[in-house]
Every structure is written in C-alpha cells, then in structure tokens.
Amino acid sequence: MTAVSEHPSRTVEHPLLEFDNVGKSYGNVQALRGVNLTVRQGEVTCVLGDNGAGKSTLIKIMAGLHDYTEGEMKLNGIERRFGSPRLAQAAGIATVYQDLALAPLMSVWRNFFLANEIRTGPLRMLDIEAMKSICGEELRKMGIEIPDLERPVGRLSGGQRQVIAIARAIYFGAKVVILDEPTAALGVKQSGVVLKYIVKARDAGLGVIFITHNPHHAFLVGNHFIILKLGRVVLDAHRSELTLDQLTAEMAGGQELAELSHELGGIDAGKVVAPHEVRHGGVGAPELDDSADGSADGSADGQPKGTA
C-alpha cells in the first residue's frame, strides 16, 4: 500500500481523535472511567469488551450523541464537545449504531440519504434519481440486491437493514467511520463484505473504529486493539504486540476463559438426545462455578451454588 504518500495529511503530529482521561456517567452509573485512547487515520481501531463494558457509550461520545462528564476529547489536537450528532457528522464522523435503527416507514433510499440529501435546481429540490442510483449501487457493492428502493425499510430483514446502515456510514464517513457491532446480525458472506469494507475504508485513509465481540473478526482487520472492562481500558495494544490467542484470552479475562473451557469440557458437544416434552421450568439452571464469575459481576458473590 502506498497510502502514506497518497495521504500526506496522515503525517500531521496530532492523532485524529484523542481521549484524555474521559469519563461518562449516566446518573449514578459510571459507564466510562479515565479512558485514554487515540484513533489515527489510516488505521483500524478495534474496541472489544463484555456486554455493558461501555463500548457503545464510548462511541456515542465520539458521535456527538452523548456529552462526556470528565476529561477531554480532542479532534485534530483541539478539544471538542459535539453538541449534536449533526456537528460530529460535519466534522467527518459517521456512525453505525447498535441500537439506533433506520426510520422503518421510510423508503430505502430516503433512509440512506437521510440528513445528507442530494439537492438540485434553483429550488433545492431532492435529486431523487441520483439518490436512488447511488443507493442501489452502494448496496450492490455490499452484496445485497434490493429491487425496489421505494420499499419501506421496516419490511427488510434485520441484516439487510444493518447493511444499509453500514453502507451509508462508509459512503458518508469523511474522516472517521464508527461501526458498533456491525457484523452481529449478518451472515457469513455479508460479514466478509463488511470486513473488506473496513479494510477499504482504512486504505482510503479513514480512521475506522470497529466494535465487536468477535476477536477473530477484530484480528482479521485491526491495527490496534482496545479492551474495555467495566468502563476502563484494560488493554491497549498494537497488532504487533499480540496474537489472536492472546487477544481472545485477554478479552475473556484470560483466566475466565480457561475456566470456561474447562467447565464446558464435559458437555459432550456431539451428543444427540431423543426428543422429549418438558414442563414449564423443567430445564434446570446450569451449575455455576463460583470462582469463575469473579470480577465481571460481583453481586453473585456469596450466592448459594446452583440455585434453581
């Protein structure tokens, strides 16, 4: 790749986005605490972590959806607080959210261009033909074919909707593309396409922030890995400092994964059981190993073993 010479802007001293001791609380919940990280253009930064670790909160701060309550966020070296997602977009940051969908009753092309409409003529009317053709083209590149772009988005499959959101972010992301668990709802083929797109966006010189639960996906494309745990950064490593196994181990908390594989060792994954009907509640709770659920959920401490 000759991306460096093509994009001299990469050589500026300041990283694109920099967090300095950033914290965010939702009322009494401290979702993020003392987070330091840097996002560089032309790199894929992967953010990993358990459910509730604060990954979505982190990217919602970058996307202007939430304000942070401590520390500072710098964009190109200047402290910024995006008052609204519109301002973040104006700064070149496009986001695919995990929990914010498209407008279900609006057509595919209207959703694709929402807030980025192409207008034409003296009256600044919508250029519907242009938008439809670009939208169809971009979706085809992602491997989905939607013959009727007037179709309301609510009637597409969850994965198709996800692809639209991703295609849109990649199309409009000028400097940073943030993807919050983009592959979670996708089939193997579409996941592959999304990963290829992440690489393409990187090669084009964008900064990509890729949030995922899947260390395999992360390791396929990531330059830089950040693991969050209970709102803190517990690992911040470059690809060269880490192997996939280490990443997987770190993500699961190392020790915990070893114990999980030990526990699941006895389940006999190949076993087939003759069909039965069971009463409601007839399936017992699995035996929990007290020592295994250490720091992730402190409240379980002292509970009797195997309550059913």
Partner 1 sequence: MSTVTTTSTDDRVVTRSWLAQVMGRPEVGALIGAIALAALFSAAAPAFRNITNIGTILYGSSTIGIMAVAVALLMIGGEFDLSAGVAVTTSGLAAAHTAWYFGLNVWVGVFIALLISLAIGAFNGWLLYKTGMPSFLVTLGTFFILQGVNLAVTRIVTGGVSSNSLNDMDGFNSAKAVFASTFDVGSVRINITVIYWVILTIIGSLLLLRTRYGNWIFAAGGDAPAARAVGVPVVATKIALFMGVGFCAWLLGMHLLFNFNNLQSGQGVGNEFIYIIAAVIGGCMLTGGFGSVVGASIGALIFGMTRLGISYAGWNVDWFFTFLGAMLILATLVNLYVKRKADAR
Binding residues for partner 1 (CB under 8 A): 63, 65, 84-86, 88-89, 95, 97, 100-106, 110-111, 113-117, 119, 124-126, 128, 145-148, 150, 155, 168
Closer to partner 1 by CB, 15 or 64: give it.
64
Q: Does 230 bind ligand ATP (CB under 6 A)?
A: no
CA distance 206 to 218: 17
Residues 171-190 as x/- pattern, contact with Mg ion by CB under 5 A? --------------------
Closest separation between CB of residue 63 and ligand ATP, Å?
Answer: 12
Neighbours of 140 (CB within 10 A): 12
Question: Which of Mg ion, partner 1, ligand ATP, none has residue 53 at its interface (CB below 5 to 8 Å by kind)?
Answer: ligand ATP
Residues 25-54 that bind ligand ATP (CB under 6 A): 26, 29, 31, 49, 51-54
Residues 38, 56, 89, 190: which binds ligand ATP (CB under 6 A)? 56
85: DSSP letter: H
Q: Does 215 bind ligand ATP (CB under 6 A)?
A: no
* Distances 130 to 96, 144, 215 between C-alpha atoms, Å: 23, 19, 39
Q: Does 15 bind ligand ATP (CB under 6 A)?
A: no
Count Cβ neighbours within 10 Å for each residue of 60-97 and write b for 16 or more, e otherwise.
Answer: bbbbbbbebeebebbbbeeebebeebeebbebbbbbbb
Closer to partner 1 by CB, 124 or 279: give it.
124
Question: Which of partner 1, Mg ion, ligand ATP, none has residue 85 at its interface (CB below 5 to 8 Å by kind)?
Answer: partner 1
Q: Does 95 bind Mg ion (CB under 5 A)?
A: no
Closest separation between CB of residue 185 and ligand ATP, Å?
Answer: 13
Residue pair 45/224 in contact (Cβ under 8 Å)? The answer is: yes
Closest separation between CB of residue 54 and ligand ATP, Å?
Answer: 4
Q: Does 297 bind ligand ATP (CB under 6 A)?
A: no
Closest separation between CB of residue 149 and partner 1, Å?
Answer: 12
Tell me if residue 224 falls in helix, strand or coil: strand
CA distance 133 to 136: 5
Closest separation between CB of residue 155 and ligand ATP, Å?
Answer: 26
Closest separation between CB of residue 47 and ligand ATP, Å?
Answer: 8
* Distances 294 to 50, 110, 249, 257, 300 between C-alpha atoms, Å: 14, 48, 16, 12, 8
Count Cβ neighbours within 10 Å for each residue of 168-186 and write b for 16 or more, e otherwise.
Answer: bbbbbbebbbbbbbbbbbb
| Start-to-end C-alpha separation, the chain | 57
* Distances 293 to 184, 253, 298, 301 between C-alpha atoms, Å: 24, 10, 8, 8
